């Protein structure tokens, strides 16, 4: 069973969750990622799509990199 902090949320709430944490992402973009790949892991419960907050955090962590100067960006 998941903890209350990792309770699955719907796509609208997932979009808001990411945006509140500084990673603005539209609900439609999440839908596109579900189709073409490359997005966060999701759950399917019947017709509902759900995301675990931990999966959203893992996904954003995998897409970000901390830099000390601009020459590291290459």
| Averaged pLDDT of the chain | 92
- Name the band, by pLDDT with cuts 50, 70 and 90, for residue 71: confident
Question: Angle at the Cα of 11 (from 7 to 14), degrees rounded to 5?
Answer: 60
- Name the band, by pLDDT with cuts 50, 70 and 90, for residue 58: very high
The domains of the chain are located at 4-61
Residues 6+ away with beta carbon under 8 Å from 50: 8, 9, 10, 42, 43, 44
CB 30 within 8 A of CB 39: yes
**Of 34, 5, 64, 46, residue with least CA distance to 15:** 34
């Amino acid at each position: 069973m998941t903890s209350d902090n990792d309770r699955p949320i719907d796509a609208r709430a997932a979009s808001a969750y990411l945006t509140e944490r500084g990673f603005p992402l539209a609900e439609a973009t999440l839908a596109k990622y579900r189709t073409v790949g490359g997005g966060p892991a999701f759950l399917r419960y019947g017709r509902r799509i759900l995301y675990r907050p931990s999966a959203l955090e893992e996904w954003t962590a995998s897409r970000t990199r901390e830099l000390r100067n601009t020459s590291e960006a290459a």
